[in-house]
């Protein structure tokens, strides 16, 4: 299925810039969600971005939906962290009640929208739904992660819009594993 599909931006990956992690940043308020281990990639998400993804996920609870997470990646004292601040719904996808596939056209449209709406910020992961069958990564999902989202800061977000459950997954020692994240918002002045 992956004939000729690649995310072209992989060719211009830069070293992440040094930036204070939001948990130590006095201008930010962060809220821990689920368990975060010391050596985890730290994932920061704005609540409004999650709401946007959730609302889209609920537009079809009989078929899987998906898209990509847009953001930036940074390092702080040797540890990489990502800031997810946008979402692009995939178009031209192929889906069923229990599968979701990006196509070459999905990625072309995502690239255009990313340039237009997000000043060409990097993709930091992907999202898809599991309507009514829980939060996990199937073998096929792991294949997608491996094929298209194989950088250390590429995460997966799975939403079950029927159960109102969701969860993140990240690379750890070459495997993709479930993980926690932080909600982040600016501290009111
Ligand atoms: Zn899946």
> What pTM did the predictor assign?
0.91
- The reported pLDDT for the residue numbered 13 is 60
CA distance 38 to 47: 23
CA distance 104 to 136: 25
By C-alpha distance, which of 114, 123, 121, 115 is closest to 154?
Answer: 123
Q: How far is the CA of 173 from the centre of ligand 1 (A)?
A: 21
Q: How far is the CA of 156 from the centre of ligand 1 (A)?
A: 10
Please say if the pLDDT value at position 126 is more than 80. Answer: yes
Please say if the pLDDT value at position 1 is more than 50. Answer: no
Q: What is the average pLDDT across 113-123?
A: 94
Domain 18-186 is of which CATH architecture? 3-Layer(aba) Sandwich (3.40)
The pocket of ion ligand 1, defined by CB under 5 A, consists of 138, 141
Q: How far is the CA of 129 from the centre of ligand 1 (A)?
A: 7
| Sole residue written with tokens 């899987």 | 64
- Residue-range domain boundaries for the chain: 18-186
Measured in degrees and rounded to the nearest 5, phi and psi for residue 86 equal -165, 165
Mean pLDDT of the chain: 92
- The reported pLDDT for the residue numbered 159 is 98
Q: How far is the CA of 42 from the centre of ligand 1 (A)?
A: 22
- The reported pLDDT for the residue numbered 74 is 96
pLDDT tens for each residue of 142-165: 999 999 999 999 999 999 999 999
65 falls in which pLDDT band (50, 70, 90)? Answer: very high
């Amino acid at each position: 299925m992956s004939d000729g599909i690649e995310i072209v931006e992989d060719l211009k990956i830069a070293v992440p810039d040094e930036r204070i992690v939001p948990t130590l940043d006095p201008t930010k308020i962060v809220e821990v969600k689920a368990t975060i281990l010391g050596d985890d990639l730290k994932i920061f998400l704005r609540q409004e971005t999650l709401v946007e993804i959730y609302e889209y996920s609920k537009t079809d609870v009989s078929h899987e939906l998906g898209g990509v997470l847009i953001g930036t990646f940074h390092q702080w004292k040797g540890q990489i962290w990502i800031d997810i601040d946008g979402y692009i719904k995939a178009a031209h996808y192929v889906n069923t009640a229990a599968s979701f596939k990006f196509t070459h056209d999905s990625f072309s449209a995502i690239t255009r929208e990313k340039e237009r709406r997000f000043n060409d910020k990097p993709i930091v992961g992907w999202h898809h739904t599991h309507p009514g069958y829980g939060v996990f990564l199937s073998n096929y999902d792991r294949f997608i992660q491996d094929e298209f989202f194989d950088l250390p800061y590429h995460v997966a977000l799975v939403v079950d819009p029927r159960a109102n459950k969701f969860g993140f997954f990240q690379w750890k020692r070459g495997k993709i594993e479930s993980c926690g994240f932080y909600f982040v918002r600016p501290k009111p002045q």
